[in-house]
Amino acid sequence: MSKHPEQRPRVVILGAGFAGLAAARGLRRAPVEVVILDRANHHTFQPLLYQVATAGLSAPQIASPIRHILRKQRNVRVLLGEAVGFDLPGRRVQLADGEVGFDYLIVGTGVTHSYFGNDAWEPHAPGLKTLDDALEIRRRVLLAFERAERETDETERRTWLSFIVIGGGPTGVELAGTLAEIARHTLTDEFRVIDPASARVLLLEGGPRLLSAYPDSLSAKAGHQLHRLGVEVHVGAQVTGIDAKGVQIGSDRIDARTVLWAAGIQATALARELPGPHDKAGRVLVRPTLQLEADPSIFVVGDLASLMQDGAPVPGVGYAAKQMGAHAARAIARLVREGSNAELPRFRYHDRGSLATIGREAAVAVFPGGVRLSGLLAWWAWLFVHVFFLIGFRNRVATLVDWAWSYMTYQRHARLILMNGSRSDREPS
């Protein structure tokens, strides 16, 4: 896809996450041609991925086709494809199967799991970043209970009924809390040999406390709430090995057939193709305007961007990504209008608060101005915020119906094991 000289400037956006979508929308009145490219045909509402992984929601409830979201914005073209590199002098993005020319570029491909150099752990401990990840985790969790029901050896059965979540950030806390809820409540009465309520759910955190981005008091509350749900929390637990049958922590060994990874992130591979500098996690250091140091027509946004503000990094959360995408769009609109010498404003992240849910009616929240919530009130805040921001009215209504139903009955309607959807290379033995 090349450009004709008489055309409007073309802005290419890589990644249709929160940042990329906000950038595309921010350019709706700008005299530019927008091309947004993503490997998936859908935008995923990542904060609810753990609900898909734990069978509370179906995949379509937290995802919408990108081209449906942007269908009314006539200056946008949506492409399904994968960016693999750049020809910066030629102003082209190289795709797995072609190329796209650009005048301005917004890169927002986000982050993926990092196993800290231990890539051999990946098959045994899948992470949770995409819908495919979520469906894989769902499959493993449900299958573990099925295997336990048919297992005749008591020791083996225990390992099928042991679940380890590695990483005590929001995703790890959400996964562990929900797994405990499934074992204690959802599966009641359904098995004849095993007692699902006897399942062990462990949450391992290498650092000194859970939810390290939250205030101390909320970390402690999250710990209490998890404990009440029946989760065994271990802090200061540095994992040194993972295999098909369990986890090694120094000289200690915990046997478990299901291990989930929520411990580390790194920039998506595409970041390496951009001129540096990069931070330790491979994220791209950007100017305060979000421009690339080496090329001011390139903006990096969302989790992929590494930027300090007031002495702390801008956090890798949805709100920051949205604000960055909108900022990059405004900056490019100004460059188009006023020429490449236009002075661009610095990006400022406006904190809207953070929320992490732990389980049924348990959550922690911190808002600007020092407001802290925990327990039921935080849980309702979490529910409201997440349903409100779900993209698409239909999803909101159907999701509320499902949540109300799950709430009343403890049931999780999406408990399907789809075999052909499995990643055979990752299947535990």
Catalytic residues: 174
Q: Which residue lies nearer to a second copy by CB, 229 or 390?
A: 390
Positive or negative torsion for Cα 287, 289, 294, 298? positive
Cα angle vertex 411, ends 410, 416, to 5°? 150
The verdict on 419 binding a second copy (CB under 8 A) reads yes
The verdict on 417 binding a second copy (CB under 8 A) reads yes
Cβ partners under 8 Å of residue 268, min gap 6: 109, 110, 111, 112, 304
Report the nearest approach of a second copy to the CB of residue 388 (Å). 18
* Interface residue with a second copy, options 3, 68, 330, 334 (CB under 8 A): 68
The verdict on 244 binding a second copy (CB under 8 A) reads no
Peptide bond into 277 cis (omega under 30): yes
Beta-sheet strands, E only, within 193-332: 200-205, 231-235, 241-243, 246-249, 252-255, 258-261, 265-267, 284-285, 291-292, 295-300, 305-306, 308-309, 312-313
* Interface residue with a second copy, options 84, 380, 415, 428 (CB under 8 A): 415
Report the nearest approach of a second copy to the CB of residue 150 (Å). 6
The verdict on 174 binding a second copy (CB under 8 A) reads no
Q: Are 239 and 187 in contact (CB under 8 A)?
A: no
Cβ partners under 8 Å of residue 138, min gap 6: 52, 53, 54, 55, 414, 415, 416, 417
Q: Are 96 and 82 in contact (CB under 8 A)?
A: yes
* Interface residue with a second copy, options 8, 25, 28, 39 (CB under 8 A): 39
* Interface residue with a second copy, options 10, 42, 257, 322 (CB under 8 A): 42
Q: Which residue lies nearer to a second copy by CB, 152 or 341?
A: 152
For the segment 355-394, give every residue that binds a second copy (CB under 8 A).
Answer: 392, 394
For the segment 76-105, give every residue that binds a second copy (CB under 8 A).
Answer: 77-81, 98
Q: Which residue lies nearer to a second copy by CB, 179 or 211?
A: 179
The verdict on 407 binding a second copy (CB under 8 A) reads no
The verdict on 60 binding a second copy (CB under 8 A) reads yes
Where do we find the tokens 């992490």? 356
Letters for 123-152 (x = contact with a second copy by CB under 8 A, - = none) are --------xx--xx-----xx--x--xx--
In eight-state DSSP terms, residue 185 is I
* Interface residue with a second copy, options 11, 63, 260, 267 (CB under 8 A): 63
Measure the CA–CA gap between 66 and 246, rounded to whole angstroms: 39
Q: Which part of the chain contacts a second copy (CB under 8 A), choosing from 54-62, 197-205, 283-291, 324-332?
A: 54-62
The verdict on 195 binding a second copy (CB under 8 A) reads no
* Interface residue with a second copy, options 28, 40, 213, 396 (CB under 8 A): 40
Q: Exposed e or buried b for every residue in 11-42, given b needs 16+ CB within 10 A?
A: bbbbbbbbbbbbbbbbbbebebbbbbbbebeb
Please provide the distance, in angstroms rounded to a whole number, between the alpha carbons at the two ends of the chain.
45
Q: Given the rule CB under 8 A, which residues bind a second copy?
A: 39-42, 58-61, 63-65, 67-68, 71-72, 77-81, 98, 131-132, 135-136, 142-143, 146, 149-150, 189-193, 392, 394-395, 397-398, 401-402, 405, 409, 411, 413-421, 423
